[in-house]
Amino acid sequence: MGVRKRERAEAIKEAKKTQYFAKLNNCPTSPRKMRLMADLVRGEKIDKALNILKFSSKESSRKLEKLLLSAINNWQQKNEDASVEDADLFVKEIRVDGGTMLKRLRPAPQGRAHRIRKRSNHVTLVLAANDNTQSN
């Protein structure tokens, strides 16, 4: 491995030490509906993000709230001595990707059939500490 490549890899490892993530795979909600809620919490501090998700009436907000709590718990496991309030964590990145699609058939008039696509998604939520560059 070259020197520049090794230095870059070490820099990425150091950056990942301040990031904590959680994943949700094969969630049976369409990615479009999930992205509506993900866009609301992207870049927010965790207490504000939890309030947004808690008081939203959409079903996808319940799943994202659970995922955010899981990411906070992952942070607490690595930083047992620190408190969440003092850490100044925020949602650095939240990605919603399309998952598997269940293909079903629905009867249509005159003996035809229409294909129904039941979509699912994968959500990756990344928390980061040191809120120096964020201005919320």
**CATH number where 80 lies:** 3.90.470.10
pLDDT the model gives residue 17: 77
Spatial contact of 22 and 74, defined as CB atoms under 8 Å apart: yes
Looking at the 3D structure of the chain, how many domains does it have? 1
**97 in a structural domain:** yes
Q: Which residues pair with 97 in a beta bridge?
A: 122
Is the pLDDT score of 19 beyond 90?
A: no
Q: Which structural domain range is residue 56 located in?
A: 19-128
Instruction: Report yes or no on whether pTM surpasses 0.75.
Output: yes
10 Å Cβ neighbour count for 92? 19
Calpha distance 27→13 (Å, rounded): 29
What's the mean pLDDT when you consider all of the chain? 91
**96 in a structural domain:** yes
